[in-house]
Amino acid sequence: MIDTHAHLDFEQFDEDRKDVIERFFVDNGKAIVNIGVDKKRNKKTLNIAENNTNIFAVLGFHPETEEDISLKEIEDFLIENCKNSKVKAIGEVGLDYFHCKKPREREFQKKLFTRQLQVAKKIDFPVVIHCRDAYEDLLEIISSDQFREMKMVMHCFCGGLKQTEKFLKFPNLNFSFTGNLTFLKEKDELLKVVEKIPLEKIMVETDCPFLAPVPNRGRRNEPRYVRYVIEKIAEIKGLKSKKIENQTDKNAIEFFELKMETAP
């Protein structure tokens, strides 16, 4: 199993990060993709990847970043640090309007997202996308001719069936699901969304330390709990967990171009 979206750099893991990582690999984990959100965490993400076998880095600036840094500085930072062989994508980037209500702030998010998409295109990297309450604006941006064929994944996808139909039209766009699937009600539309999306376009993640799945809801999440996401997708699609695990691993390896090593 591969956790395609973790935040092991967060302070929630400062006391036992090594143990958390060890538990994942002892529990038959294959790889972890750790995701940056700002300059400080990008550096920590890269350090974790460089010092651990089969942990990879994704670098980017979250839409809600409040750092006093220019778009040019962000571009330069990404281009320089993405030269590292452990870095596999740019992310998480996108739009988040949940707390952002002012038009000026939303316009900056669009500029930040667009600039990072341009960097990803320039260096031929896939993109990990964060979207909350902003699907229409995000669709408009990625629908442009320069972006629509890029490799992208919608992290922690929570869109409805109508939005899913639109995203399925993108030739190289995948969908990633988290532990929130395990605490949805029976008639929740997101369950139908998972059922509709072809397995070949699905990846799994924890988004740890957030969104711990049942039976650990309310506790700190960690990479080994990605198995519960796999089991829930298997239940929704009426397939065996091993089939879901094998295909989502294959999807992740191809999307991020992962080359795993044999652990010492």
DSSP secondary structure letters along 86-101: TEEEEEEEEEE-SS--
The correct answer on CATH 3.20.20.140 for the domain covering 2-256 is yes
User: Quick one: pLDDT at residue 149?
Assistant: 97
Instruction: Grade residue 152 by pLDDT with cuts at 50, 70 and 90.
Output: very high
Mean pLDDT of 194-216: 98
The rounded percent of the chain whose pLDDT value lies above 90 is: 93
Q: Could you give the angle at the alpha carbon of 129 between the alpha carbons of 30 and 20, nearest 5°?
A: 35
215-263 confidence digits (pLDDT tens): 999 999 999 999 999 999 999 999 999 999 999 999 999 999 999 997 5
On the question of a cis peptide bond just before residue 209, with omega within 30 degrees of 0, the verdict is yes
In terms of C-beta density within 10 A (0-12 exposed, 13-18 middle, 19 or more buried), how is residue 214 classed? middle
Is 23 within 8 Å of 194 (Cβ atoms)? Answer: no
Q: In terms of Cα–Cα distance, which of 148, 137, 155 is closest to 170?
A: 148
User: Quick one: pLDDT at residue 254?
Assistant: 98
- Name the residue ranges covered by the structural domains of the chain: 2-256
User: Quick one: pLDDT at residue 104?
Assistant: 86
Mean pLDDT of 181-207: 96
CB environment 108-146: b (16+ within 10 A), e (fewer): ebbebbbbbbebbeeeebbbbbbbbebbebbbebbeeee
Distance CA 86, CA 47 (A): 10
Instruction: Grade residue 186 by pLDDT with cuts at 50, 70 and 90.
Output: confident
The rounded percent of the chain whose pLDDT value lies above 70 is: 99
Structure tokens at 165: 């139909």
42-79 confidence digits (pLDDT tens): 999 999 999 999 999 999 999 988 778 899 999 999 99
User: Quick one: pLDDT at residue 263?
Assistant: 55
70-105 confidence digits (pLDDT tens): 999 999 999 999 999 999 999 999 999 998 878 888
User: Quick one: pLDDT at residue 26?
Assistant: 97
Instruction: Grade residue 207 by pLDDT with cuts at 50, 70 and 90.
Output: very high
User: Quick one: pLDDT at residue 262?
Assistant: 77
Helical H segments across the chain, by residue range: 17-26, 39-50, 71-81, 103-123, 135-142, 161-167, 189-196, 226-237, 241-256
User: Quick one: pLDDT at residue 34?
Assistant: 98
User: Quick one: pLDDT at residue 92?
Assistant: 97
* pLDDT score of 264 more than 70: no
